[in-house]
């Protein structure tokens, strides 16, 4: 416990906050607006303005696919998944955007290098 002398030496400095909390944007939900690819990443633009860039090597089916096949995706009706239909392209995969925004569950094995 601090002594009375130490307590008297401690001061609290207050700073003005120029904007109220209501002026900030706190995304509630991640919804996909559009998707684009380059040689190394899948870039996912969300409806709230965030841009998520996912390395293609994280998703082997996309990493190993031809660039023109990657472009044959569909965005799910709820705007939370990117889907490649094997009847329409050489890729059979789905990417849930929430999987790349939230931390993995505690029981998920982690790679060690």
Neighbour count for residue 42 (Cβ, 10 Å): 22
- 52 and 101 Cβ atoms separated by less than 8 Å: yes
For the chain, list the domains and their CATH numbers: 30-100 (3.30.2020.40)
Segment 52-96, tens digit of pLDDT: 999 999 999 999 999 999 999 999 999 999 999 999 999 999 999
What is the residue-wise DSSP string for 51-66?
A: EEEEEGGGSHHHHTS-
pTM strictly above 0.75: no
């Amino acid at each position: 416990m601090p002594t009375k002398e130490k307590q008297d030496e401690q001061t609290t400095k207050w700073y003005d906050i120029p904007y109220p909390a209501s002026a900030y944007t706190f995304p509630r939900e991640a919804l996909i607006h559009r998707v684009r690819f380059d040689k190394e990443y899948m870039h996912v633009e969300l409806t709230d303005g965030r841009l998520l860039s996912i390395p293609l090597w994280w998703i082997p089916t996309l990493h190993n696919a031809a660039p023109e096949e990657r472009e044959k995706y569909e965005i799910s009706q709820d705007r939370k998944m990117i889907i490649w239909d094997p009847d329409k392209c050489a890729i059979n995969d789905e990417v849930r955007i929430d999987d790349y925004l939230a931390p993995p569950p505690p029981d998920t094995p982690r790679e060690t290098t």
